[in-house]
Structure 1
């Protein structure tokens, strides 16, 4: 393996995304935890990052421009997920009287509103996302997801390093 090879780094990122989704789906379908709208948005960010890493692994560009593009796209996907998870953690730390009111369900909003309105409503008024249904080692699931995004950020940053180093 060449030290500047993109494929192993991208495959490691893809494997981590698969692991994150396996945990999320296991908690949903085996444990019975229903994902809130912010949880679903975090899943979308994980899937987006996974798709970027999969395409990067398949393409495996040798030039710095190709690696740079995949690195930047990966950073955007991971940073978006980290932002959403951070917002989710923040909502969970609010006092009960400051929690925004619960809005309509995500499925209903998706049926009647344009996507930008759905995103705005979920990010600004998701009171149901403030509930802590499950903790592991003293941290809520959104906190663990935020940590997962921080770890996952190492992949696109490494890809960018490979692009710059060349």
Structure 2
């Protein structure tokens, strides 16, 4: 199938549906399998919710609205990819002193936001733990791949939506 056979708004719909599927799988891993998300996993979930919302809006708008939402999708995906890359790095090179710090909500509730955000990206002991793998990659590795794909598709949609129809 040629990428040109699917219109840019439909790509946004596919991205939104893919994100919903990923969120559903994350909830399955949490509530059925019993894996508890670490602070960086929760940040990635919020980024994925952002991807779904922006892609759903992009699916419904046309013209400049589609281009702007596609660029915003690339930006949100970039943030998610950064978080997943940081977690992957921590999994590959765990810190010498591993401490199980506060959970995400404990950090946000007990510290000002300017102190909580760096603590989240520092990663706690549970952020380095690999509970699940698929084809040799952890959840963070696969999240990174998906966020990069969403971001690249967002840039492609932004580019294609501003070209005149042939």
TM-score calculated relative to the size of structure 1: 0.86
CA contact under 8 A between 1:28 and 1:34: conserved in structure 2? yes
Report the Cα distance in structure 2 between the residues aligned to 1:120 and 1:103, rounded to whole angstroms. 13
Give the CA deviation at 1:139.
Answer: 1.5
Report the Cα distance in structure 2 between the residues aligned to 1:75 and 1:116, rounded to whole angstroms. 25
Cα 1:4–1:32, aligned 2, differ >3 Å: closer, same or farther?
closer
- Give the paired residue count: 161
Partner of 2:75, secondary structure, is helix
Q: 1:40 aligns with which of 24, 39, 42?
A: 42
Q: Structure 1: give runs of 5+ residues left out of the alignment.
A: none
Q: Structure 2: give runs of 5+ residues left out of the alignment.
A: none
Give the CA deviation at 1:47.
Answer: 0.4
Give the CA deviation at 1:160.
Answer: 1.2
Moved over 4 A (4+): 2-5
Give the CA deviation at 1:113.
Answer: 1.9
Report the Cα distance in structure 1 between the residues aligned to 2:114 and 2:98, rounded to whole angstroms. 19
Matches within 5 A, 1:1-166: 5-58=7-60, 60-61=61-62, 63=63, 65-95=64-94, 97=96, 101-166=99-164
Give the CA deviation at 1:89.
Answer: 0.4
